[in-house]
Structure 1
């Protein structure tokens, strides 16, 4: 039996590309695993973490546990709950849009709070080698040669945390031009946007099938 941990950070539910591609990925894993898989969900886009939880948990790390205030004790317990969800999973799916050229504030708060748990501090190897997917959706085009090349300040940071700090075995599925269908100024890009979206769903299906081989090898 396998467990998927899925985190969504889009503030939209209807029309969210990051959610839709993650749905395809999740469905592919469930189908390939033959239904013997559970999914733990954390939706920080529609159910954000408490805004003060990271700072409270982080500062508690600088004083002895016997001196924690009730607020610090609650924050550390919450951080531990987040850590438990990730530790218990066999594969991770993290789905996020690019917001204002940077990381979703809700996702950043989740990362910071998780790092305040000792199991996920830099230098630890708690989830080293665990398969994970980062599903990214960007409203415009940010590739080389485009007017906004280099304006995506989120994806490189997320890769740094997931690949280098937590040492996950990471695959990234990226979709661009997701606003073409609703932005008249991007009308000429709609065909390209549809092609990219179709390719992302194909990549999600292929990734879902291939990760089951890793899960089975790990269980063997």
Structure 2
């Protein structure tokens, strides 16, 4: 029985969030194709992971017998998140762009699960796990656009998820999500709609593909 680790980080609920709408479509397809599977869900906006502290950070390099009570408690919380990642057969991340980067809540989760010698290093414990990232953004930061150089979501997550954690990462990028709400972007609404449609199609297709791969 396979496990999907689904993490959302948008501050907006439900259909008001582009990333949540598309991760939900992925999850629905994944569950329809694999009804016996398990979903572990974390809503980082509703229940944020604590930002990394000195105790949580240093505990990872401290022998368990030498840890202070504060270090032990902080490290236990990190281990819970790490084990969720390690048990996952597929990872689904909603990562909207806020001020050119990822939400701080998602960064806090990453800071907790990145542990040298376990999840990172020569043999990362979740190496090869498929990860699908829905990286929504209000404008366009695609190659060749004026704001290409301000794209710090895909670049960062590629480095961390693939380079450090060893996950097999695919991105789904719904863009121009501000077009329907910003009069100055009204001429971009058709491009937004096309991007949104493509993102939903990619999400359902990728979910079906990954379930099929798990069953093989």
TM-score (norm 1): 0.92
**1:210 paired residue number:** 209
Gaps of 5+ in 1: none
Aligned length: 215
Is the counterpart of residue 175 in structure 1 residue 174 in structure 2? yes
Gaps of 5+ in 2: none
How large is the Cα RMSD of the aligned pairs?
1.5
2:149 alignment partner, SS class: coil
What is the CA–CA distance in structure 1 between the aligned matches of 2:160 and 2:53, rounded to whole Å?
16
Preserved contact between residue 94 and residue 134 of structure 2 (Cα < 8 Å): yes
What is the CA–CA distance in structure 1 between the aligned matches of 2:43 and 2:122, rounded to whole Å?
27
What is the CA–CA distance in structure 2 between the aligned matches of 1:168 and 1:75, rounded to whole Å?
25
Preserved contact between residue 135 and residue 153 of structure 2 (Cα < 8 Å): no
More displaced, 166-175 or 189-198? 166-175
After superposing on structure 2, the runs of 4+ consecutive aligned residues of structure 1 that deviate more than 4 Å are none
**1:102 paired residue number:** 101
Is the counterpart of residue 55 in structure 1 residue 54 in structure 2? yes
Offset of residue 121 of structure 1: 2.9
More displaced, 9-18 or 192-201? 9-18
Offset of residue 54 of structure 1: 4.3
**2:42 paired residue number:** 42
Preserved contact between residue 114 and residue 165 of structure 2 (Cα < 8 Å): no
1:140 alignment partner, SS class: coil
Offset of residue 11 of structure 1: 1.1
Is the counterpart of residue 132 in structure 1 residue 98 in structure 2? no
